[in-house]
Amino acid sequence: MANTRETRFVIFASSQQYVAPGTCYIAQDGTTIMIRSKAARFYSFAEAKGFAKEKNITFNAQTYIGLEDFTDVEMQG
């Protein structure tokens, strides 16, 4: 079975300079997590921005919206 990838917008909660192991994300409940497959995923930048507003998430150098690739297995999780 081929391992396909899908790109989604996520909210990162770590420095843009260090996107590597140890990267943190924002989950659907608005908490900070390190498990990429549990990150809140969005189809558009606007959708991610609306979610952040709803959860009172403030953007800065540490918290920002970016794109992340997910495998089909991660998309199911």
pLDDT above 90 for 4: no
Tell me which DSSP letter residue 13 carries: E
Q: Which residues pair with 25 in a beta bridge?
A: 12, 33
Confidence (pLDDT) at 72: 84
Q: Are 73 and 3 a contacting pair, CB within 8 Å?
A: yes
pLDDT bracket for residue 18 (50, 70, 90): low
Least confident of 41-45, 48-52, 73-77: 73-77
Q: Maximum distance among all alpha carbons in the chain?
A: 40
